[in-house]
Amino acid sequence: MSFVSHLSRLAVVAAFVASTTFALPISSSARADTVQAAAVDGKAAEQAAVATDPADAAKRGVAAKAIDKVKEVAKSATDILSRVPCRTPKGGMKAMGALPHVASKLVAGKPVVIVAFGSSSTQGWGSTAPEFTYPNRLAAQLHRAYPSANITVLNRGKGGEDAPEMMARLQSEVINAKPDLVIWQVGTNAVLRNLDPAETGKMIEDGVGRIQAAGSDVVLVDPQYSPATTSKPEGTGKMLSLMHKVAELRKVGIFPRFEVMKEWHESQQMAFDSFVISDGLHMNDWGYACFAQLLGDNIIKSVGQVKLGINEPQIQQAQKPL
């Protein structure tokens, strides 16, 4: 095979792993195939490096960079899988309630659209690659659970925002997408920016009402447990209380991210740097992976027994993020 052919293959591999617009993360088996292909192409490129044609020097440089990128992403994936298992909190988690719009679409065999709405935790700050963000992790898990379903997860996260900015784009970036489910991560930046908790709570309640009126299920995600939020205990406590009250009043689900992460640190005795990056706020690849795994488990449980030729996946008590 010519050097140009090897380079073409490398370009495909590099483009795949470097893409920032993943519709769905690759599966473990697909990632293994990609890494294996990269290894083969790496050997081929090394052999091509001894070619005597000086005109190939620049091409060899491009090939080497492509190989390095593949190896870097593969190493990150391996690091996640070697970490501690992602465990369901002791005593289980409170059910998020029914998700009737999602369930009805799955039963009818119709496409399901999920919008992940939020700030930097949704956008993926702290992750090392797009496939390690929680929306992409969640999409992969739901496709494993419902392999015949057409499920799309849209990432509508923007760093630094909270309820005021999110409400300004709620119609254009969320409701106009006609989602069946909106996962709304909110509240953390309100605490960090010392926004009035009561006003923030009113905006969240109004936003939830608008989403429901548009015909979507809603799941709220409360602030993370991290040094940045625990350093503001009063504001964080008020925000948690308000968000859970909104969920109760509007009869929507809420994923207790704060309590889940608190258990990682206190009960499972994990150091903060095991799941939070050095800024003391944003989750790392493992943190996003476990968060997505537990959120996905709850969504699957809430949807219930969906007749797609498979049974509802059994929730495992201890598993490594895939």
For residue range 267-302, list pLDDT tens digits in order. 989 999 999 999 999 999 999 999 999 999 999 988
Taking the CA atoms of residue 162, residue 168, residue 173 and residue 175 in that order, the dihedral angle to the nearest 10 degrees is 100
**223, 258 contact by CB (below 8 A):** yes
- Who contacts 6 (Cβ-Cβ below 8 Å, separation ≥6)? 41, 44, 45, 48, 63
CB atoms within 10 A of CB 203: 20
Can you tell me the distance from the alpha carbon of 225 to that of 160, in angstroms, rounded to the nearest whole number? 17
Q: What is the mean pLDDT of the chain?
A: 79
Instruction: Give pLDDT, residue 121.
Output: 96
E strands, the chain, where? Answer: 86-87, 112-118, 151-157, 181-185, 217-221, 253-255, 318-319
- Structure tokens of 193? 């920016």
Q: pTM here?
A: 0.72
User: Residue 66's pLDDT band (boundaries 50, 70, 90)?
Assistant: low
**280, 77 contact by CB (below 8 A):** no
- Who contacts 120 (Cβ-Cβ below 8 Å, separation ≥6)? 126, 157, 158, 159, 160, 282
Q: Where are the domains of the chain?
A: 3-81, 91-319
Q: 91-319 falls under which CATH superfamily? A: SGNH hydrolase (3.40.50.1110)
| For range 249-259, the mean pLDDT | 95
Whose CA is closest to 243, among 158, 174, 162, 165? 162
For residue 67, pLDDT over 80 is answered with no
214-235 per-position pLDDT tens digit: 999 999 999 999 999 999 999 9
Can you tell me the distance from the alpha carbon of 222 to that of 259, in angstroms, rounded to the nearest whole number? 9
